Amino acid sequence: MKAVHGLSKRNRSPLRIIAIFLAVIILLLVSMFLSISIGSIHISFGTIKQALLDFDGSKEQSIIQTVRLPRLLVTAFVGANLAVAGALMQALTRNPLASPGIFGINAGASAAMVFLTVLVPGVSMIGGVLGAFLGGAFAAVIVYVMSSLIKGGDSDVKLALTGVAIQGMLMSLTQTLLIFNESKTEGVMFWLTGSVIGRDWGHVHVLLPFSVVGLLIAFGLGRASSLLSLGDDVARGLGQRVFAIRAFTAVVVIVLAGVSVAIAGPIGFVGLVVPHMVRYLIGVDYRVVLPMSALLGASLLLLADVLSRFITYPYETPVGAVTALLGTPYFIYLARRKKTERKA
């Protein structure tokens, strides 16, 4: 119907794609370096190299090993997960406003986590992750069904408004639950804004398997996503089993976003913004868009996290607050731009 995904745009030349890939990899390396070296103690490049290659147990090296490195891994994988989940959703729904946040996955997973924390005090981290999957899936189904019940109008905007309303309700529920468990409020408040502060190897061990498997499967969905983003009829005509792919992709999305929320809280806008940037840079071939989204999502969340350490130095600001402040203007831009395209 309309060139939501820039489908009218030509795919970029291979040379350009390779160049951009290299640039993004360099960006990722730089962000990783900044993420390790900047903080209440600044750490030099030499020390970082030593800590990784030849650990001698000094104070700085211990900080790297026990604090900065797990935090870096958590941030990078959460960024990659959310960006890839967003790219998959935008391809699947052909809706430029789609993202784990708008579909209520973040809010649903958060509500489930808080629910578990309050009702099952000793819940394990894996239990929390499974709860987050269920909560996220539940919210996504509700948002999807509700927004399709609203007849006529603009499907993108309907989805967004439905998503916002359900998010509002889930947030109210979550905060109500929190009031019943005040002892944990302070930590959970921070978590609810989306935060990677204090994440340790335990978190990494839970996050990593889900992320790696989920991301690899997602990359494998590249061709199917490209076809689906052309529309159901085209995809079906080209021999795709549309429903099966949809359902399978939805599961992948919920695993990627759910585990991220369980570990780092609901970090918004990464899943919305990164896929747009990637399509702008390299076109709409999802075999390339998905891995590129992972790299760029990781880099940007790492940079946002570094930025968050400065905003109210020496105190730390939850990275979710930073992405929210940076992401809203872009969201508004998208809501406005759509209108022009339709009129044009």
Shortest distance, CB of residue 111 to other proteins, whole angstroms?
11
Which of these, 197, 183, 103, lies nearest to 147 by C-alpha position?
103
Interface with other proteins includes 180 (CB under 8 A)? yes
Interface with other proteins includes 183 (CB under 8 A)? no
**Cβ atoms of 265 and 320 closer than 8 Å:** yes
DSSP 275-342: HHHHHHHH-S-HHHHHHHHHHHHHHHHHHHHHHHHHHBTTB---HHHHHHHHHHHHHHHHHHHHHHHH
Task: Give the ranges where 150-231 is alpha helix by DSSP (H).
Answer: 155-179, 185-192, 201-220, 222-228
Shortest distance, CB of residue 143 to other proteins, whole angstroms?
10
Shortest distance, CB of residue 299 to other proteins, whole angstroms?
22
Return the amino acid letter for 55.
F
**Cβ atoms of 152 and 158 closer than 8 Å:** no
* Residue from 27, 157, 245, 277 binding other proteins (CB under 8 A): 157
Q: Which of 51-59, 115-123, 177-185, 204-212 is the region at the interface with other proteins (rule: CB under 8 A)?
A: 177-185
Interface with other proteins includes 331 (CB under 8 A)? yes
Interface with other proteins includes 153 (CB under 8 A)? yes
Shortest distance, CB of residue 311 to other proteins, whole angstroms?
8
List, in order, residues 6 or more apart from 127 with CB less than 8 Å away. 116, 120
Shortest distance, CB of residue 14 to other proteins, whole angstroms?
37
Partner residues linked to 312 by β-bridges: 315
> Which chain residues interact with other proteins by CB under 8 A?
146, 149-154, 157-158, 160-162, 164-166, 168-169, 171-173, 175-176, 178-180, 182, 185-186, 189-190, 193, 311-312, 315, 317-318, 321, 324-325, 328-329, 331-332, 335-336, 339-340, 343
